[in-house]
Amino acid sequence: MTASQTPNTAAELRGAGLRVTAARVALLETVREGDHLGVEAIASGVRDRVGHISLQAVYEALHALTTAGLVRRLEPPGSPVRFEGRVGDNHHHLVCRSCGTVVDVDCAVGHAPCLTASDDRGFAVDEAEVIYWGLCPDCSTEAPTSAP
């Protein structure tokens, strides 16, 4: 982790009302430098930075960071939970049905803004979550395998 990242990350943690620890700094930076990482990959990244950390401590820190709005939790149906550092906007995701790759995509466009439900039934909507499913470029160009 670079010296320029750590003070900014520590200040963000403090600003969110969280205690600053080496593990939380490493975890937040790992999530932000990663690409929709799962818990095991996050734990590995944190261990590379600060040494031993239990999986339970990673889960607890992820919960605190998610609750504070510093990390976003993504749960595509049928896929493991992932975490990302892109927060504070209303972006969506593309998920490959074959390899599980997840990528960001900006808010849906068209006549109706993506925060406007056809019938909000009295809810005060503040977020819309859209997941587009399909095949990524690598998987869509793979030749189908034939049975022998």
| pLDDT score for 115 | 63
Confidence class for position 37, pLDDT limits 50, 70, 90:
very high
For 17, residues 6+ apart whose C-beta sits below 8 A from its C-beta are 68
Nearest to 103 by CA among 133, 70, 59, 140: 133
Confidence class for position 89, pLDDT limits 50, 70, 90:
confident
Q: What is the distance between the alpha carbons of residues 57 and 24, in angstroms, rounded to a whole number? A: 10
Q: What is the distance between the alpha carbons of residues 42 and 69, in angstroms, rounded to a whole number? A: 17
* 115-136 pLDDT, tens digit each: 677 788 898 877 777 888 999 9
| pLDDT score for 114 | 62
62-70 long-range contacts, CB within 8 A, separation 24+: 62/27, 64/18, 64/24, 65/18, 65/24, 65/27, 65/28, 65/31, 68/16, 68/17, 68/18, 69/16, 70/12, 70/13, 70/16, 70/18, 70/28
Q: What is the distance between the alpha carbons of residues 90 and 64, in angstroms, rounded to a whole number? A: 21
Average pLDDT of the segment spanning 49-75: 96
Please give the share of the chain, as a percent, with pLDDT higher than 70: 86
Average pLDDT of the segment spanning 38-57: 96
Q: What is the distance between the alpha carbons of residues 143 and 130, in angstroms, rounded to a whole number? A: 29
More confident residue, 130 or 46: 46
Q: For residue 66, count other CB atoms closer than 10 A to its CB.
A: 15
Asked whether the predicted pLDDT for residue 36 surpasses 80, the reply is yes
pTM: 0.79
